[in-house]
């Protein structure tokens, strides 16, 4: 009997636990560890920040989900991991032994890289966590009573840009709806080389559609920008410019969870975990990783450093592959190992319109520099599709479903995306920067 431990209960971790529970016989234990009491659909937090929906609409209690779907639920923060003894330490609890470990912690937020950023001890808001969204909502409601300049953007090293665009454009719509837009100029500040890059270069129409929309809405864009500090009412850039604000929302750079950074050989200097195509660690055969916690190298050299986006869809595909491959390792199923294709679809909601960005795959072929397909399309339908997907995702989380066949079929039929494929041994450098092979 094996105990498979999943650390993290977000868009990657909880679907991974569900997949494992579905694949593994009852004699195997699936343990879910999280420092959060609720599953949160993170993309929905922007709506929460603007007071357009309650936080409860995008959350479900993990204790109840675990009991309903036969998961061993352990609440708490992982503080240490002992690779030789194969156990992890949970704050305030006894150590937990594991046979296989799947790390899907998401990221730690590097607020300390830019002084003055962050909602706790800084001067900017965030939509990265439920608590941040609630703080952003409180600040937004106060801002509406006394509007002024708004600065939205991302810090150098950030790899997640979609929420910043969504925030700026929804702010524009909400202010227009209230007749306050002329009192609140909006500036979008980003380390991206151009508006619409989003950490993925060469997506057809992305640059043109995004820049056109920002111009339509009267939002000033400052690209190739390095935010060096934030004061109580001004954002300072590396070129000396100061951007005054009454409300600011800045996305931070990410790094790995603290316990990953404390374990020699587990992650890189920033705590991101190297992986083989099968999501397995190249040195530790019983450790897998998925989602934001994995190491994926940005292939573009940009004037200001940026990361590579790891969307929720990518995290879910990685987690599904990892769960499948653990089941193969345990001899439960006789099948080829799976690898995620890293083909990504992002529905970005921009008020009354939106843009769908497709990159298949996110990482281009290292030999040709090309993707199978990549494009962006704009339309009001994007808003409705994103809302429908959120409802679908919450339903399947309630039901204890990971990534079902009909979800994969739908994405393939509608958008040509193949999220998983069978693994065949090949050099690793193209996908992960590692030269190892899965045996």
> Catalytic: 128?
no
The residue from 23, 71, 160, 355 that is catalytic is 160
Query: Cα 390 from chain centroid?
Result: 15
In the block, tokens 């590692």 appear at 434
* Cα→Cα distances 335→105, 230, 326, 422, 439, Å: 27, 53, 11, 9, 15
Q: How far apart are CA 331 and CA 222, in angstroms?
A: 54
The residue from 198, 346, 417, 438 that is catalytic is 346
| Opening angle at CA 45, ends 43 and 47, nearest 5 | 105
Residue 406, Cβ density class (10 Å: 0-12 exposed, 13-18 middle, ≥19 buried): exposed
User: What is the three-class DSSP state of 66?
Assistant: helix
- Of the candidates 360, 410, 419, the one whose C-alpha atom is nearest the C-alpha of residue 388 is 410
- Of the candidates 426, 155, 191, the one whose C-alpha atom is nearest the C-alpha of residue 301 is 191
The CB density around residue 416, as the number of other CB atoms within 10 Å, is 13
Q: How far apart are CA 130 and CA 41, in angstroms?
A: 9
Q: Which residues are catalytic?
A: 160, 346
């Amino acid at each position: 009997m094996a105990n498979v431990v999943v650390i993290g209960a977000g868009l990657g971790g909880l679907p991974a636990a569900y997949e494992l529970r579905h694949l593994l016989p009852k004699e195997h234990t699936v343990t879910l560890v999280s420092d959060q009491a609720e599953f949160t659909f993170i993309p929905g937090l922007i709506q929460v920040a603007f007071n357009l929906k309650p936080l409860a609409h995008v959350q479900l209690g993990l204790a109840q989900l675990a009991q309903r779907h036969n998961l061993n639920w352990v609440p708490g923060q992982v503080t240490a991991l002992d690779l030789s003894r194969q156990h992890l330490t949970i704050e305030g609890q006894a150590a937990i032994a594991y046979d296989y470990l799947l790390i899907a912690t998401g990221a730690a937020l590097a607020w300390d890289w830019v002084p003055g950023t962050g909602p706790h001890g800084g001067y900017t808001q965030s939509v990265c966590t439920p608590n941040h969204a609630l703080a952003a909502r409180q600040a937004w409601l106060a801002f509406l009573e006394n509007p002024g300049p708004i600065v939205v953007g991302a810090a150098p090293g950030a790899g997640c840009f979609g929420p910043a665009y969504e925030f700026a454009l929804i702010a524009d719509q909400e202010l227009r709806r209230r007749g306050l837009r002329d009192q609140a100029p909006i500036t979008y500040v980003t380390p991206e080389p151009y508006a619409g890059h989003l950490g993925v270069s060469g997506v057809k129409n992305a640059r043109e559609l995004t820049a056109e929309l920002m111009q339509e809405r009267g939002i000033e864009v400052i690209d190739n920008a390095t935010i060096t500090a934030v004061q109580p009412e001004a954002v300072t850039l590396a070129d000396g410019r100061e951007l005054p604000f009454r409300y600011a929302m800045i996305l931070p750079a990410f790094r790995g969870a603290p316990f990953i950074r404390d374990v020699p050989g587990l992650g890189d200097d920033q705590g991101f975990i190297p992986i083989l195509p099968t999501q397995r660690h190249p040195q530790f055969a019983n450790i897998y990783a998925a989602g934001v916690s994995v190491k994926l190298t940005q292939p573009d050299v940009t004037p200001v450093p940026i990361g590579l986006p790891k969307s929720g869809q990518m995290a879910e595909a990685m987690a599904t592959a990892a769960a499948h491959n653990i089941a193969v390792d345990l001899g439960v199923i006789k099948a080829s190992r799976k690898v995620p294709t890293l083909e990504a679809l992002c529905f970005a909601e921009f008020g009354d319109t939106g843009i769908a960005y497709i990159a298949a795959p996110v990482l281009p072929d290292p030999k040709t520099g090309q993707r199978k397909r990549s494009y962006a399309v704009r339309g009001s339908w994007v808003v409705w599709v994103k809302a429908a997907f959120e409802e679908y995702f919450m339903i399947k989380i309630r039901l204890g479903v990971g990534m079902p066949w009909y979800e994969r079929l739908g994405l393939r039929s509608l958008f040509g995306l193949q999220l998983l494929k069978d693994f065949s041994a090949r050099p690793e450098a193209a996908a992960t920067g590692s030269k190892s092979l899965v045996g």
